[in-house]
Chains A and B, each alone.
Chain A
Amino acid sequence: MKPNRTVIEAGRTEKNYWQDLWHFRELFYILSWRDVKVRYKQTVLGAAWAIIRPLLTTIIFTVVFSRVAKLPAPGSAPYAIMVFAGMLPWQFFASALSEASNSLIGNANLVSKVYFPRMIIPASSIFTSLVDFAISFLLLLCMMAFYQVMPDIKIMLLPVFILLALAAALGVGLYVTALNVKYRDVRYVIPFVVQLGLYLTPIGFSSSIVPEKWRLWYALNPMVGIVDGFRWCILNEPMNWTALAISTSVILLFLLIGIFYFRKTERGFADNI
């Protein structure tokens, strides 16, 4: 057996897929870097978009939910900070989902001309959203300084929830990406789902206002656990651990389904795209 031997057979790609994925990791870095670079090139406001969008939404949500609807905030932090802490992971999830769902179609020429594990493309596009997330996170720190809110020591646990958000985006993203190659109208559904999710997820309000008997059902929305986790870390809001466990299980389930479906359909991408 020679070192660089490749065997091509029907159904064979299964076997060395994960090995290939590791082998092509440099491609992942460079595609992520390309997406980030291209994203901020040729836009007037560039990185400012990552600030303006969540900031404006936060202001509107604060006015509507706090001033007009007069919903209570459970913690001691100002309402705006609570909204923004929820907006952060949601914005990340939403943009990762939209970026990922179009990524394969956008790179159709690559997919039909070169071999590499296709998972790299949606994964690297999700990475772009992570950069936006980092910029927005800096804004959160500025806002907290402005309102003179001291973050809790639990903020050290935030990476756990960022990872959870990443897993959620990747799971749903992979599924939707694969679906989009086959059915091109999926991309029209995504913005609608994202818009709906904005209200189904506790962003403008705290999940503590949801009646206790519905809390666990509510946690079936995976973003509920993540948003609650962010607020728990940053603002020391009370945490419903059962709800978090449910959200986490849903996320992991989605991740498994996403990977499985992506792998199943991946073989046909070059023929279908």
Chain B
Amino acid sequence: MSDTVIRVENLSKRFIISHEEREPYKSLRDVMVRKTKKWIGLNKQKPHLTHEEFWALKDLNFEIKQGDRVGIIGRNGAGKSTLLKILSRITEPTQGRITIDGRVASLLEVGTGFHPELTGRENIFLNGAILGMSRAEIRAKFDEIVAFAEVEKFLDTPVKRYSSGMYVRLAFAVAAHLEPEILIVDEVLAVGDAQFQKKCLGKMEDVSKNEGRTVLFVSHDLNAVHKLCSVGVLLNNGSIYYAGAINKVIESYVSHSKNISSNYVRIGTGEIQLIDIIFLNENGVELTELSTEQAVVVKMKCKANRSMKGVQFAVCFNNIHNSRITSLWTAFKGISFDVNEGIFSLIFTIDRLGLIPGDYQILSHINCGDILIEKIDNFKFITVSHAIFSIEYAVPTLSQGVYLENFHVTLE
């Protein structure tokens, strides 16, 4: 029992969503007007207040042992961030109890604890203090932090002139040297080059293996989670879907993602219906996960209730921020198909996938001229990862663009 560092018991967090206000914040004026009206009896009708409860976390129970590297994964809105916020004491739980033995430090989002006007040196002290370090501690660790972050030359430059990579390096360096018993890392490694990402993963592994510290790691990058973590927790709609060895958790996440949105809505006249969209590699093997720059075959299986002429099909990809990244629309090739009643498949061949690593939502669209036959906005999810994870190759991230161009480069 003694090596349990975090014990979570019956943890729940409720948010109250109020539908009355349209504005992002309440204004004192409105409240005063309403109160006065009520007071002088003018307000005959009651304000339309509808409160909706939303349980971001429901009855969570788990234990984390000392030295564990725990990957917390789950779709957006699964409750990962809320869990971390409660663990780092930013918000209070509504119910339940957490017992933590040891100091907790969160690796913050890029630049959260930084002031752009201050120099790198000053920001190390500022950020350290925000994370709960004393000045003496920071002074003792100062050289190590600077060396790890590789910012020696820019120590006396205001950080507003830093590149985003330098920013993250510095932020990570401060947090990693805090020597907390428990380090929380939330989705920050997305920025920074591959070499530094590797260094960070190495450092996290090092602090947990050699120094017996516990690391909680939240990321969408299943590759990184797999590399770093020993155990995992998969959250879904605020509850634990699966917890255990990291391989099992990732497997469960991938298969779970496949059939997660079985309750999608079909819009349109419905003469042709989508049955499934599957992804195959060049040898015809079905893929549960795609890789950037890989050759992919997209198979769109449909069923037509009657024969139709001039039908166009599209498979579209939205990223996790719900931005449309690309569409494979037959109209782009000037093609429309005449289909017969029955089941048929469309085969889209992609020589080289340009999607950067991340989770994507697959949408489908079938039309005949101006008539919408069928549209599904949330058919399924697919994860794109990066096949090559080595020092020479940088992993493309959102900060470099939403799409990876196919290019070659030579020196003349």
User: Is residue A182 contacting chain B, with contact meaning CB distance below 8 A?
Assistant: yes
Contacts A5-B101, A7-B98: A115 and B26 contacting too (C-beta < 8 A)? Answer: no
Interface 1/0s, chain A 1-12, versus B by CB < 8 A?
010111111111
Interface contact A184-B27, CB-CB below 8 Å: yes
Interface contact A7-B97, CB-CB below 8 Å: yes
Within 8 A of B (CB), among A82-132: 109-116
List the interface of chain A (C-beta within 8 A of B). Answer: 2, 4-13, 23-24, 26-27, 29-31, 34, 37-38, 41-42, 109-116, 179, 182-186, 189, 267, 270-272
Interface contact B85-A270, CB-CB below 8 Å: yes
Interface contact A38-B115, CB-CB below 8 Å: yes
Interface contact B115-A110, CB-CB below 8 Å: no
A12 vs B89: C-alpha distance when bound (angstroms): 11
User: Is residue B406 contacting chain A, with contact meaning CB distance below 8 A?
Assistant: no
The winner among B99, B100, B129 for most chain A CB atoms within 10 A is: B129
Interface contact A13-B92, CB-CB below 8 Å: yes
A9 vs B88: C-alpha distance when bound (angstroms): 12
Contacts A26-B135, A112-B90: A186 and B28 contacting too (C-beta < 8 A)? Answer: yes
B179 to chain A, nearest CB (A): 12
Interface contact B28-A185, CB-CB below 8 Å: yes
Within 8 A of A (CB), among B65-90: 85-90
User: Is residue B25 contacting chain A, with contact meaning CB distance below 8 A?
Assistant: yes
User: Is residue B277 contacting chain A, with contact meaning CB distance below 8 A?
Assistant: no
**How many A-B Cβ pairs are below 8 Å?**
117
Picked from A2, A8, A12, A114, the residue with its CB within 8 Å of the CB of B113 is A114
Closest to B100 in A: A6
User: Is residue B102 contacting chain A, with contact meaning CB distance below 8 A?
Assistant: yes
A41 vs B102: C-alpha distance when bound (angstroms): 38
Interface contact A26-B92, CB-CB below 8 Å: no
Interface contact B90-A24, CB-CB below 8 Å: no
Picked from A2, A23, A114, A267, the residue with its CB within 8 Å of the CB of B92 is A267
Which residues on the A side are within 8 Å of B134 (C-beta)? 26
Which residues on the A side are within 8 Å of B126 (C-beta)? 30-31, 34
A225 to chain B, nearest CB (A): 28
Contacts A109-B112, A113-B112, A116-B132: A8 and B103 contacting too (C-beta < 8 A)? Answer: no
List the interface of chain B (C-beta within 8 A of A). Answer: 15, 25-29, 31, 85-104, 106, 108-109, 112-113, 115, 117-118, 122, 125-126, 129-135, 181
B117 to chain A, nearest CB (A): 5
Contacts A183-B28, A186-B28: A10 and B92 contacting too (C-beta < 8 A)? Answer: yes
Which residues on the B side are within 8 Å of A114 (C-beta)? 88, 90, 106, 108, 112-113, 130-131
A248 vs B306: C-alpha distance when bound (angstroms): 87
Interface contact A5-B88, CB-CB below 8 Å: no
- 8 A-B pairs with CB atoms under 8 Å apart are A4-B102, A27-B130, A113-B108, A114-B88, A114-B108, A114-B112, A182-B25, A185-B28
Interface contact B115-A13, CB-CB below 8 Å: no
Contacts A8-B92, A27-B130, A267-B92: A38 and B106 contacting too (C-beta < 8 A)? Answer: no
Which residues on the B side are within 8 Å of A23 (C-beta)? 132
New A-B pairs, 10, CB < 8 Å, besides A184-B25, A184-B26: A6-B99, A8-B92, A8-B100, A10-B95, A30-B129, A31-B126, A109-B112, A114-B108, A183-B26, A183-B31
A185 vs B104: C-alpha distance when bound (angstroms): 36
Interface contact A115-B118, CB-CB below 8 Å: no
A81 vs B328: C-alpha distance when bound (angstroms): 79
Which residues on the A side are within 8 Å of B135 (C-beta)? 26, 30
Interface contact A10-B108, CB-CB below 8 Å: no
A9 to chain B, nearest CB (A): 5
Which residues on the A side are within 8 Å of B92 (C-beta)? 8, 10-13, 267
B69 to chain A, nearest CB (A): 20
Picked from B94, B103, B113, B181, the residue with its CB within 8 Å of the CB of A10 is B94
Interface contact B98-A185, CB-CB below 8 Å: no
